Every structure is written in C-alpha cells, then in structure tokens.
Amino acid sequence: MTTPARTDRPAPAPPAAPVVGFDLDMTLVDSSEGIAATLRATLAEAGVHVTAADVWPYAGMPLELIVAGLVPGTSPERVAGLAARYRELYPSLGVPGVRAYPGAAAALAAPAAHGGRSVVVSAKHTPNVHRVLASAGLDGAVRPEDVAGDLFAEQKGVRLAEAGATAYVGDHPGDVRAARAAGAVAVGVTTGAHDAAALRGAGADVVLDGLEGFPAWLAAHAADLAGAAAGAAGRREGTAPGSR
C-alpha cells in the first residue's frame, strides 16, 4: 500500500526584494552601429552586401536567425559558419562603437538600493556580452556570474527563473516571452526596433520610453514585493501550530 503524496506543503515565500533581469542590445546599450558594421563585413566576405537599414529590423534576435534572414536560402551549415566568422570579427568591429543608453547605469544599480540585484540575460554570445558591458562602463554594476548569453525568448526565461527574477526588461517581443516564461513582470522599452504598441501586443505589463524612468517604476515594484512578502509572513504566523 502506497502513501499518498502530501499536498499541504506551504507555498514558497514570495521574494521580498527585486531581482531584475536586463536584456543587453538595444536595452542597456545602443549596439546597432557595431552589429551592422560586423554583419556587413562578415557578409561582404561571402559576396553579400547589406546596409544598416537591412539589419535594423532584426535587432534583438539571435545571430543565426539574423544571418538566415539577411541571406535567404543559405544552408544551416553555411549560416553557422557565417555566425562563427561574425563572432570572430565582433570584438574589433562591433564592441568599440557600443554606447550605454541614458539611465543604463542607474537602472542596473537600482535593484541593490532595494536589497536586490541585477542580472543580464542576452542573445549575444556570452564572451561578447562581457566585452560590451566593459566597453560601455556597465560591468561594475552586475556580478560576472549574473551575466548570461546565447539565450533567446523562452530560453532566457529558464535562466531568469533560476535567478529568481521578479522582472525582466527588454526591447523585443521575445523578451516579453522570456519574462512570461519566468513568471516575472515584463517591462518593455522602446529603444529598439519595436514600438510601444508592438510590445504591449506581445503582452508587456509596462512599457517605458527608456531606462531613465526605470528607477521610479522599480520603487513601486519593490514596495509591492515587500508588501506581498510581509502579508505572506503574517499569514504563515497566523496559521502556525499553536498560534490559535
């Protein structure tokens, strides 16, 4: 005879402090110039010529999907080879042109003021995420172990959930999907290729024009978390054995 599994385990305590995930490209940094320059150089070696305007609609997508979109009909093996060449060229052609968006440093630092922390989860190749953060002067605001790359959409969500993220900030509908997969608040910013309507249509809970307004939004988010945690603690104390 088997013993039925217990179903009366207490629910996990809600987080009391914000853990905020940030996308990198076109969210924390304007990397469009460097990405376009590296793609142009990579594809020119293969006899394909593209412009920055050709590249822009693909902002925020994984590199292999960008290459496949710019060079339709290319075999998966050739796409992989072009992506590998791009990653070789990016440190010299792409990183130097990166600029942090206004408010990026303050946004990354803001969760710590509420007892939390920031994480960066990007579709960019992980070594290049670290290079870009350093070049933009943002690497000091996030721990190296809290930086992850080579992830997109729901794959980002897995990493965010592991980090205990309460919110995720990004410029792409795929970032909204990432937040949803992690059970986090989806915060859209219109600094990339997608406007407020597109981000709201994808399911963003809030849309900001840029990161300058993020600390104020975070203060309200942190207050909500603290209130929910206090309420949950009070309910647990009120139902504890011997408390009646």
Give the whole-angstrom CA distance, residue 110 versus residue 143.
14
Q: List the domain boundaries for the chain.
A: 19-31+98-234, 32-97
Percentage, residues of the chain above pLDDT 70: 89
Rounded average pLDDT over 105-112: 97
Tell me if 111 sits within 8 A of 19, measured CB to CB. Answer: yes
CA 134 to chain centre: 17
pLDDT at position 15: 81
Give the model's confidence band at 3: pLDDT under 50 very low, under 70 low, under 90 confident, else very high. Answer: very low
Rounded distance, CA 190 to CA 162, Å? 27
Q: What is the model's pTM? A: 0.89
Could you say which DSSP state residue 102 is in?
T
127 confidence band (pLDDT: 50, 70, 90): very high
Q: Where are the beta strands (DSSP E) in the chain?
A: 19-22, 29-30, 99-100, 117-121, 147-148, 167-170, 185-189, 206-208
Task: Compute the average pLDDT of residues 154-175.
Answer: 98
Return the C-alpha torsion angle 97, 68, 25, 201, nearest 10. 140
Q: How far apart are CA 210 and CA 191, in angstroms?
A: 6
Question: Quick one: average pLDDT of 231-235?
Answer: 73
DSSP per-residue letters across 49-101: ---HHHHGGGTTS-HHHHHHHHSTT--HHHHHHHHHHHHHHHHHHTGGG-EEP
Tens-digit pLDDT profile for residues 86-106? 999 999 999 999 999 999 999
As given in the structure block, the two tokens for residue 234 are: 């009070």
- Match domain 19-31+98-234 to its CATH number in 3.40.50.1220, 3.40.190.100, 3.40.50.1000, 1.20.59.10: 3.40.50.1000
Per-residue pLDDT band for 232 (boundaries 50, 70, 90) equals confident
Cα distance between residue 33 and residue 11, in whole Å: 47
Per-residue pLDDT for 40 more than 90?
A: yes
What are the tens digits of pLDDT across the range 51-64?
A: 999 999 998 899 99
Instruction: Give burial (CB, 10 Å; 0-12/13-18/19+) of 122.
Output: buried
C-alpha to C-alpha distance for 114 and 221, rounded to whole angstroms: 10
* pLDDT over threshold 90, residue 185: yes
User: Cα 31–210–24 angle (5° rounding)?
Assistant: 35
Q: What pLDDT band is residue 236 in, cutting at 50, 70 and 90?
A: low
| Residue among 163, 155, 213, 166 nearest 189 (CA) | 213
